[in-house]
């Protein structure tokens, strides 16, 4: 059975693992990523970690998941907000020259989706769309076992899809962008704005309060349901997937909002598309496993 090196590189930590093609994690190392200390420090540390993986030379390839869109033609990040200095850096070429084996890079949501499509909830299905509902909202499209990144690496970057035009502008995204309306951060912000006599740390508290009957919390959840229903309907109109696989911290409260989201979705899409499956993500480590599956998906 072939093995691969998977790298989950973030703005705070980096994990490097040796993983078999069935998704079994054989070895794993973790370290600070040193993102704020510069690109040279990040790469020196990352390369050192890979060299520490026992018998890395036998691995068929290296896959790296990063927090930002990636240009597949150049093997580099198109935008690297959380990894300063990496925009345009020849990531893939650098790793291939160092280790002499094929290397690939992709957005962290894309690789998580790849893991779920190949080994998790979407295994065996031709078109799987992965959505993460967490601090932000991200997505990844997997078609016939390969991620679809687009020309500039922005395919699947769904945070900016507008679902509520009358809303104010909060950041670099357009007013009414779904991430600013229906992410965990948005739910918490709305609750703290509208229920000033309480303090909310996370979206789960808002869902619990709504279930207990608080009218303002119920209205916030109703907005989330409407906005996510619109998001999934929009994605279906463009992609018509076999399955939506949904992960992220908000899914801990899935029973309190996802059935209503699916009802809203069914009101908005054409009838033949109502049979799309909504599934909760299954894998505990989709990021690093999906990174390792990048070379696998390219036939390595």
User: Which tens digits make up the pLDDT trace of 256-284?
Assistant: 999 999 999 999 999 999 999 999 999 99
DSSP state at residue 256: G
DSSP, residue by residue, 119-154: HSTTTT-SEEEEEEESSSEEEEEEETTEE---SSS-
C-alpha distances (whole Å) from 31 to each of 4, 114, 155 are 19, 24, 30
**206-248 residue pLDDT tens:** 999 999 999 999 999 999 999 999 999 999 999 999 999 999 9
Predicted confidence band of residue 134 (pLDDT cuts 50, 70, 90) = very high
| Residue listed under structure tokens 């957005």 | 107
Instruction: Tell me the pTM.
Output: 0.93
As a whole-number percent, the residues of the chain with pLDDT over 70 amount to 100
pLDDT at 131: 97
- Alpha-carbon distance of 176 to 291, in angstroms, equals 32
Q: Is the dihedral of CA 256, 172, 265, 152 positive or negative?
A: negative
Rounded to an integer, the average pLDDT of 136-143 is 95
Q: Torsion angle, CA of 114/119/122/127, rounded to 10 degrees?
A: 40
Q: Give the burial class of 172: count Cβ atoms within 10 A of its Cβ; 0-12 exposed, 13-18 middle, 19 or more buried.
A: exposed
Q: Is the dihedral of CA 122, 252, 32, 39 positive or negative?
A: positive
C-alpha distances (whole Å) from 90 to each of 24, 31, 157, 280 are 29, 22, 22, 35
- Alpha-carbon distance of 3 to 93, in angstroms, equals 21
Whether the predicted pLDDT of 252 surpasses 90: yes
Which run of H or of E encompasses 91?
Answer: helix 91-99
pLDDT at 188: 98
Listed in order, the ranges of the chain carrying CATH 3.30.420.40 are 3-114+285-297, 125-280
- Alpha-carbon distance of 151 to 68, in angstroms, equals 14
7-26 as b/e, with b when 16 or more CB fall inside 10 Å?
A: bbbbbeebbbbbbebebebe
The CATH number of the structural domain formed by 3-114+285-297 is: 3.30.420.40
- Alpha-carbon distance of 43 to 86, in angstroms, equals 10
**Number of Cβ within a 10 Å radius of residue 168:** 7
Nearest Cα residue to 157 out of 136, 138, 131: 138
pLDDT at 166: 87
Whether the predicted pLDDT of 172 surpasses 90: no
Which of the following CATH numbers is that of domain 125-280: 3.40.50.720, 3.30.420.40, 3.30.470.30, 3.10.20.90?
A: 3.30.420.40
Predicted confidence band of residue 81 (pLDDT cuts 50, 70, 90) = confident
The overall average pLDDT reported for the chain is 96
**180-201 residue pLDDT tens:** 999 999 999 999 999 999 999 9
Least confident of 13-17, 97-101, 109-113, 169-173: 169-173
């Amino acid at each position: 059975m072939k093995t691969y090196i998977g790298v989950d590189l973030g703005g705070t930590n980096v994990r490097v693992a040796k993983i078999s093609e069935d998704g079994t994690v054989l070895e794993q190392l973790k370290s600070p990523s040193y993102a704020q200390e510069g690109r040279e420090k990040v790469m020196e540390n990352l390369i050192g970690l890979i060299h520490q993986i026992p018998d890395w030379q036998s691995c068929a390839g290296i896959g790296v998941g990063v927090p930002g869109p990636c240009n597949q033609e150049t093997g580099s990040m198109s935008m690297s907000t959380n990894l300063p200095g990496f925009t345009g850096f020849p990531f893939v070429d650098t790793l291939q020259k160092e280790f002499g084996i094929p290397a690939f890079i992709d957005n962290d949501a894309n690789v998580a989706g790849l893991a779920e499509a190949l080994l998790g909830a979407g295994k065996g299905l031709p078109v799987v769309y992965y959505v993460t509902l967490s601090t932000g909202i991200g997505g990844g499209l997997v078609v016939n076992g390969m991620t679809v990144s687009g020309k500039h690496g922005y395919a699947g970057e769904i945070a900016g899809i507008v679902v509520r035009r009358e809303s104010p502008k909060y950041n670099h995204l357009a007013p009414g962008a779904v991430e600013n309306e229906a992410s965990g951060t948005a739910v918490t912000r709305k609750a703290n704005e509208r229920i000033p006599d309480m303090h909310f740390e996370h979206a789960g508290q808002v869902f619990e309060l709504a279930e207990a009957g608080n009218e303002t919390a119920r209205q916030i959840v109703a907005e989330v349901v409407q906005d996510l229903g619109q998001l999934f309907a929009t994605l279906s109109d463009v992609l018509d997937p076999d399955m939506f696989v949904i992960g992220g911290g908000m899914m801990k409260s899935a029973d309190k909002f996802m059935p209503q989201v699916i009802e809203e979705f069914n009101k908005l899409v054409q009838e033949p598309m109502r049979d799309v499956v909504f599934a909760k993500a299954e894998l505990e480590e989709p990021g690093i496993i999906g990174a390792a599956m990048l070379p696998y998906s390219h036939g390595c």
